[in-house]
Every structure is written in structure tokens, then in C-alpha cells.
Amino acid sequence: MGQRQDLLAGAKQCIIEKGYSRTTARDITAASGANLAAIGYHFGSKEALLNAAILESFDEWGSAIDQAEVASVIGDPIERLESFLAGFLTGSAQHRAMIVASVQAFAEAEFVPEVREQLAETYEEARRSVAAMLLGIEPDGVDEAGRQLGSLVLAIINGTALQWLIDPAATSSAAGLTAALRSLVASR
């Protein structure tokens, strides 16, 4: 890895171990083996480096979610959702650090327009991707109703992730979540 990648890896490690607000430039250089001047040279500031690390972690979490999607290609939309959520929950333990970093990205989005813009782009793509997976169509074929479905599923994913971070044992299973959804739909 080059020094820029070493800094990103060190920043991600520090965010995981200390959190965004508690990470210092010296922490990052200790974790990465780079020198303080390298942060300014490659990123301009510690905050810019931390933001880049958070966005990269968010993208990695998105990739983990995409892997969960691969397993969910059979059945009706709710069966696909259950399969997807099962894959997501199964992978959460190994991706905990990425989930934590992603949650921190949400907080930073309030203060850093670049982070907000990147997250907005990522979410727009994810809405269509998730809807396409549930509906069994290509992302280009997702209409506005499908986009709204994608938004709902992203809310379920994010809410489930937050609950899992706080108390994994109390977090509903994929089957429990989809059973609740079926119950809600049936009560109409």
C-alpha cells in the first residue's frame, strides 16, 4: 500500500477503536506508520482524511449489503426481503466496524456537505438496487413506486443495524421482521 492508503487504513482503524471525534492526527500516524505531514499532503486536513475513511467504510458496508442481496434472488418480494435480511444479519458480526463507521458518517453529514452529498448519491443508488432485487427486475426498470419501496427497505436495514449495534440479542430475526411486515399488510 502507498502512504495515502496507509493513512486511510489507519484512520479507519482509529475511527473503529476511538470514534471520529476522539481520533487525533497522532493516533492516525501511529496506526498508519505515516508522518503528520503526510496527512496534509494527501488529504489537506485530519478531518478530510477522517471523512474519506468514513465514506470508504460506508462503501464497504454497502458492498457487504450487496453480497447479502446475491443470496436473495428466489421467491416473492417478502421472501426475497427475508433472505436478504438474513444475509445482512449474518454478516453484521464480521462487518460491525464498518457499520459503526457508517453510523458516524450519518452524524458527520450534518456538518460536512461532501459527506452529505456522497451519502445522498449512495442512498439513491441503493434505493433502486434494493427495489430491483425485491421486485426481480433491473435497477433501470425501477419506477417511483419501486424507489419508495427501496426507501422503506433501507429504513428497515438502517433501523435493524442500529438495533443490532445496541443489543444484538434483542434484535429481531429476518423471519421475525418479515412476519411483522406480513402482519401489517394483512391488517389492512
Q: Say if CB 140 and CB 58 are below 8 A apart.
A: no
Cell of 183: 402482519
Average pLDDT, the chain: 87
Q: How confident is the model at residue 61 (pLDDT cuts 50, 70, 90)?
A: low
Summarised one tens digit per residue, pLDDT across range 100-118 is 877 887 888 888 888 888 8
Q: How confident is the model at residue 1 (pLDDT cuts 50, 70, 90)?
A: low
Q: Is residue 14 part of a domain?
A: no
Cα–Cα distance measured from residue 89 to residue 179, given in angstroms and rounded to the nearest whole number: 16
Q: Is residue 12 part of a domain?
A: no
Residue 128: partners with Cβ closer than 8 Å, 6 or more residues away: 139, 142, 146, 147, 150
According to the model, what pLDDT value does residue 71 have?
A: 52
Summarised one tens digit per residue, pLDDT across range 125-152 is 889 988 998 888 898 999 999 999 999 9
Q: Is residue 166 part of a domain?
A: yes
Cell of 146: 419501486
Q: What is the mean pLDDT of residues 94-104?
A: 79
Q: Is residue 18 part of a domain?
A: no
Q: Is residue 84 part of a domain?
A: yes
CB atoms within 10 A of CB 62: 17
According to the model, what pLDDT value does residue 76 have?
A: 86
Let me know how many helices (H) and strands (E) the chain has, helices first.
Answer: 9, 0
* pLDDT over 70 at 65, yes or no: no
Q: Is residue 94 part of a domain?
A: yes
Cα–Cα distance measured from residue 38 to residue 31, given in angstroms and rounded to the nearest whole number: 13
According to the model, what pLDDT value does residue 40 have?
A: 94
CATH number at residue 175: 1.10.357.10
* pLDDT over 90 at 179, yes or no: yes
Which residue range forms the structural domain that includes residue 93? 52-186
Q: Is residue 22 part of a domain?
A: no
Q: Is residue 116 part of a domain?
A: yes
Q: Say if CB 28 and CB 18 are below 8 A apart.
A: no
Q: How confident is the model at residue 70 (pLDDT cuts 50, 70, 90)?
A: low
Cα–Cα distance measured from residue 162 to residue 110, given in angstroms and rounded to the nearest whole number: 18
Summarised one tens digit per residue, pLDDT across range 145-174 is 999 999 999 999 999 999 999 999 999 999
Q: In the chain, how many domains are there?
A: 1
